């Protein structure tokens, strides 16, 4: 359909229509597009709502006197703690750190052992574990799957406990040598 604007000019009606382009993520009647939240902000809000309970769970505290600052994005702001001087003055004990991590693994392993232990009735399992711990029987010779799995976890727990004890003892000896050297330097 054509429409006459003047007596002499005929303009098609399609040219007179105004095309309105919507924003990239929609609009709300009565609100300017600048007042609406950006898609990234909406996504952040959804993630915060979905994962908020998980992020609110308590975390086992590190045994350290260093408490780094957390910036607005949730990243660690190390500040002066990221410098070479801080590394030089800090007494980070690798053996103690490794012992603590192995201790955490041992605690998790003990939970698994207790769960598996409840599945196996009777007291014969303790005799099998004692014989396996002394090396009298081989774990691979156990035919019952649950007892075999329990014995494997038990042997691993014994190895982890031994490693933790050795690492903590090495850390203690290192500290003693450091204190002795310091005392010798004084007097």
pLDDT digit string, tens, across residues 11-58: 666 656 666 665 555 666 776 767 677 778 888 888 888 888 887 777
pLDDT of residue 55: 76
Contact call for residues 110 and 157 (beta carbons, < 8 A): yes
Contact call for residues 154 and 133 (beta carbons, < 8 A): yes
pLDDT tens track for 87-140: 555 667 888 889 999 999 999 999 999 999 898 888 888 888 888 888 888 888
Read off the pLDDT band of 170 (50, 70, 90): very high
pLDDT of residue 102: 95
CA distance 132 to 142: 10
pLDDT of residue 26: 63
Considering only residues 55 and 170, tell me which one the structure prediction assigns the higher pLDDT.
170
CA distance 148 to 138: 10
């Amino acid at each position: 359909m054509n429409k006459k604007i003047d007596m002499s000019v005929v303009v098609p009606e399609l040219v007179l229509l105004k095309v309105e382009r919507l924003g990239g993520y929609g609009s709300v009647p009565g609100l300017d597009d600048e007042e609406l939240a950006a898609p990234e902000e909406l996504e952040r809000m959804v993630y915060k709502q979905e994962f908020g309970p998980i992020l609110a769970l308590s975390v086992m505290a590190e045994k350290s006197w260093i408490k780094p600052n957390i910036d607005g994005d949730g990243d660690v702001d190390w500040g002066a703690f990221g410098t070479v001087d801080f590394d030089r003055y800090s007494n980070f004990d690798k053996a103690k750190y490794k012992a603590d991590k192995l201790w955490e693994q041992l605690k998790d392993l003990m939970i698994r052992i207790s769960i598996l232990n409840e599945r196996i009735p009777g007291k014969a399992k303790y005799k099998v574990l004692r014989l396996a711990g002394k090396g009298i029987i081989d774990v691979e010779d156990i035919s019952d799957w649950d007892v075999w799995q329990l014995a494997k976890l038990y042997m691993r727990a014994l190895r982890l406990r031994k490693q933790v004890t050795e690492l903590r003892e090495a850390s203690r000896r290192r500290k003693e040598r450091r204190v002795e050297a310091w005392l010798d330097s004084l007097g």
